[in-house]
Amino acid sequence: MLKTNLFLQKNAKAKGYAVPAFNINNLEITKAVINTASKMKSPVILQTSEGAIKYAGMKNLISLAKNAEDENRIPLSLHLDHGQDFDVIRKCIKLGYSSVMFDGSHMEFKDNVKNTKKVVNLAHKKGISVEGELGVLAGIEENIKSKNHIYTDPDQAKEFTLKTGVDTLAIAIGTSHGAYKFSGESKLDIKRLKEIEKKVKTPLVLHGASGVPEELKKKLLGTGLNIGKAKGVSDQEIRKAVKAGITKVNIDTDLRLAFTYGLRNFIKKNNEDFDPRKIMKPAMDEIEKVVEAKIKVLGSNRRY
C-alpha cells in the first residue's frame, strides 16, 4: 500500500529528518530514484506535475509507483505536485494517488482557503492527504529578486491550516522554481520558518529547493549546454531548513540537469550506439548520484 505524505512526514518530524520528493516523468527517472532510495533505505515521495501526467499518462505513472512499492517494500507515496485542475485532482484521488497538492498560492487568501478546503473534503473521504500552499515562490523565467517572492506570514499560515484542515503545508521562505534562484548568496529565511513551525502543527514543505551544483553546471557546459548564471539552494541552507522543521523537500531541476548531462555526455562521446537502453543508462546513473546526495543531506537514509 502506498503511504500518504502525512504519514511519511509525521515520521520524519518525530525523528528530525525530511523526506525527499522527486518529480518523475518516465520509467528511467522512476527506476533510478527507487533503486537508490531502496538501497539507502530512505522513504521517498514520487511526485508528478500535471505536465508529467500529460506527458506520460496518469495510469502509467500510477503503475510505476505501485510496482516500485510492490517490488521494493519501500515506504512510498505517490503525490500530485501543484494540482490546479479539479478534473485532474479528482482523477488522481479516484485512480490511486496517495496524496495531492492543491496550489492556490496565487489566489486571494479567502479563495485559496475555499478551494483548498474543497480538495481536502474530496481527498479525506478516501484517506488521501492534501498539501496546501501559502506564499508565492518566484517563477522560473523571471529575473529573480526577493521582491518577486511573497514570503509566508506565520499568523496567516496558522489561520490557513485551521480553516482548511490541510495535512501538510508548502511555504515560501526564499526558494524559487527552476534553475535561476539567486542572483547573490543562496539564503533562506530560517527565522521565519521557525516562527511558522512554532505556530503551525502541520508538517511543512519546501518547494524550489534544487541545488544546481557548480560542478554539474561545468560538466554540462562541456557537453554544449550553457545554463549561464543558474544558482540553486546550497546543501547548508537545506540542512538548516530541515533542522528548523521542514519535512518534505522537492527536487526536480537537479534531476533534469543530471539526466540531461548523462544523455548529452554519452551521445557526444559515442558515434556508434543507437540502442535507447544504452543511451538512457548513463542518464539513470547520473540521477542515482543526485538522489544519493539528496538523501544524505536530508538525513532520510536508514529510516526503515
Amino acid at 285: D
Q: Quick one: 207 or 219, whose CB is closer to Zn ion?
A: 207
Amino acid at 37: A
Spatial distance between the Cα atoms of 141 and 59, rounded to a whole number of angstroms: 31
Q: CB 97 → Zn ion: shortest distance, Å?
A: 16
Q: CB 250 → Zn ion: shortest distance, Å?
A: 5
In 176-245, which ranges are E strands? Answer: 204-206
Q: CB 170 → Zn ion: shortest distance, Å?
A: 7
Whole-angstrom CA distances from 181 to 112, 216, 258 are 25, 16, 18
Q: Quick one: 54 or 94, whose CB is closer to Zn ion?
A: 54
- Cell, residue 293: 546526495
Evaluate whether 204 touches 171 at the Cβ level (below 8 Å): yes
Instruction: Tell me, yes or no, if 285 is annotated catalytic.
Output: no
Evaluate whether 47 touches 250 at the Cβ level (below 8 Å): yes
Size of the site for Zn ion (CB under 5 A): 1
What is the 3-state composition of the chain as percent helix, strand, coil, each rounded to the nearest 5? 50, 15, 35
Contacting Zn ion within 199-258 (CB under 5 A): 207
Evaluate whether 60 touches 20 at the Cβ level (below 8 Å): no
Q: CB 252 → Zn ion: shortest distance, Å?
A: 8
State which residue has the least CB distance to Zn ion: 207
Q: Quick one: 117 or 207, whose CB is closer to Zn ion?
A: 207
Choice among 81, 103, 153, 189 that is catalytic: 81
Spatial distance between the Cα atoms of 157 and 177, rounded to a whole number of angstroms: 21
- Cell, residue 31: 527506476
Q: Quick one: 238 or 284, whose CB is closer to Zn ion?
A: 238
Under DSSP, is residue 225 helix (H, G, I), strand (E, B) or coil? Answer: coil
List the catalytic residues. Answer: 81
**Applying CB under 5 A, which residues contact Zn ion?**
207
